[in-house]
Copies of this chain bind each other. A is one copy, B any other.
């Protein structure tokens, strides 16, 4: 049951620094409280002081923050295998809210248990640390995306990131994947108005780069999309290039 944690960590770290057998066993034995959460619910809120972190077992999660009256920025998206708020292990107060975008299965892990694991197994600590560093790299990339690129490029870039990350966890086939976001949410992630999201999606469709219907994203021309989005997957720090699209 618990192998998803082991698997997702292994998938994320380099083979050469793979976990020891003992560490792997300890990880698998970690108590996880599995919960089903409805779409659109907050898992942990800005300002709270959680005593647990959570693993995404199923579903799409986003981190966001509300700015004065209504405006909201989504700072990142998490998919199965991710541990979005590992930061709360070491940072007391949440500065962001994690919410479900779809019906999700979440596994809560007590900080105390995680800390014990990290003390006993430095390689587990390193693996978890690495996860948070990759998250940080993704944040940085979002700063660049939102700060420098125009709507068309920006959106293409986001779509590239999503398909590559989903492919890395085996959730994309035939260049298509789930994308359970409304255009409003896309706008919140991209720093664009809903109206402009609509027009930009329309343009990507019209130019034959993607199709996007019923929360399903299909890449019709990967080479051109990658080009349009100025996408270089380095920042995702994926373990193997096998997950890279051709």
Contact = CB atoms under 8 A, between A and B. Distances in A.
A66 to B, nearest CB: 10
B235 A137 contact: no
Count of identical protomers in the assembly:
2
Contacts of A234: 47, 93, 95
Question: For chain A, which range describes its interface: under 10, 10 to 19, 20 to 34, or 35 or more residues?
Answer: 35 or more
A221 B67 CA distance: 22
B95 A146 contact: no
Interface in A63-90: 63, 65, 67-68, 71-73, 75-76, 86-87, 90
Interface string A175-191: 00000000000000011
Given A67-B230, A235-B95, A142 B141 contact: no
Interface string A223-234: 000000010001
Contacts of A113: none
Main secondary structure of the interface of A (DSSP, over half): helix
Contacts of A76: 140, 143
A65 B144 contact: yes
A149 B126 CA distance: 36
Contacts of A119: 122
Contact of A134 (B68, B91, B118, B235): B91
B73 A144 contact: yes
A208 interface: no
Nearest to A88: B133
A192 to B, nearest CB: 9
Interface of A: 14, 47, 63, 65, 67-68, 71-73, 75-76, 86-87, 90-93, 95-96, 115, 118-119, 122, 125-126, 129-130, 132-137, 139-144, 146-149, 190-191, 230, 234-235, 237
8 contacts: A67-B149, A68-B230, A93-B234, A95-B137, A95-B141, A132-B132, A139-B143, A146-B146
